[in-house]
Amino acid sequence: MSVSTVPKPVTGPAAWRGDGLGQSQEWVFQLSPGQVMELETLGERFMRDDPDLRTVQATDYPLVATADAVQAWGRDVDCGRGFVLVRGLRTDLYSDALSAAIYYILGLHMGEPIRQNEHGDLVDHVYATSDKTMDDPTALSSKVRDQLVYHSDSSDVVSLMCLRPARAGGASCLVSGAEIYNEILRRRPDLAPLLFEPFYWDWKRQDHEAPGNTYTSPIVSIVDGVFSMYAGALYIFTAQDYPEVPRLTPRQVEVLELFDAITYEPGMAIEMDFRPGDIQWLSNYAALHARTGFTDYPEPQRRRHLLRLWLSRKGERPVVEGFGKNAVVQPRAAARDPSAQTDNNHFHIRVAAVPRLIS
């Protein structure tokens, strides 16, 4: 792709700056008492039914009072600013399993859950079980207290539900992929075409049990005028540790460094604190996310604890073939390799609500 054929700057609600968007609360949705009651009732029935998380369907737990709200959240994620924060669930009154049940029901209505690791976990946990830091190549970002760099997750939509916040820190930070792209076009249009070319990404660093070292994806996709971004230079650079991966060119390094520099400029990101019961729905293709470092409580039962869902919204957002990790993620119904399936699976809500003790 040449400079002359690179698409023009992105316009519309997905191209935002944090210093503008943060002046309002338009991205916060407050659940009504009736919606909270409906979700609590459905969550309690989900607990009684104890369905298999691999096969349960949204139609098994239909929404009435919350149905229009879920549709609106989906539009915000797909066609709007790319994220919404839902507030009002009373998780301080629930068991973790009931919170997870309500969350999973909403996830079913927002998309199709996918497996988040080779164990097959459909509900995963952002919970520090390790004192490692991210400069340790064996560290998993969801299991440490470090600051996390901006990145995209491995799904169309990533969602986080706050059970308990940190003692201090741990704010969620979002930045618009479209606005980063626009800034690159303004400053270095000669580098912009590189974003449409495939890069090698470190798969093992993201999941130690991954069946391969790397996968490939471009950083930017534009299909039918719809802009999408999949980013996280950390895993592009660590993929260079594998001898079979082609070396990055000086211009590729330059565009990655420019991308990161723009991402961290003052005013680009919006920062939000998670309160108990908050749910963040985020398009991985519209916004990148990061996290500030945090200090935990000493007691394990009081530590910062978020639940995480990865969702597919097939057909809702067109992207180029093989974009992101679409080619390598596993659907929820079956493992990649059924013969490798273990007994250590969390496919029922009571066990899925308990974090694995992974170091």
Residue 359 has pLDDT above 60, yes or no: no
| Residue 184 near residue 191, CB atoms below 8 Å | yes
Quick one: which of 183, 40, 196, 34 has its CA closest to 105? 40
pLDDT of the residue at 326? 67
Q: What average pLDDT does the segment 303-312 reach?
A: 94
pLDDT one-digit tens code per residue, 180-191:
999 999 999 999
Going by pLDDT thresholds of 50, 70 and 90, the confidence category of residue 117 is confident
pLDDT one-digit tens code per residue, 46-86:
999 999 999 999 999 999 999 999 999 999 999 899 999 99
Residue 288 has pLDDT above 70, yes or no: yes
First to last CA, the chain: 43
pLDDT of the residue at 255? 97
Output phi, psi for 153, to 5 deg: -90, -175
Q: Which residues contact 136 (CB under 8 A, 6 or more apart)?
A: none
Residue 129 has pLDDT above 80, yes or no: no
Q: Is 207 exposed, middle or buried (0-12, 13-18, 19+ CB in 10 A)?
A: middle
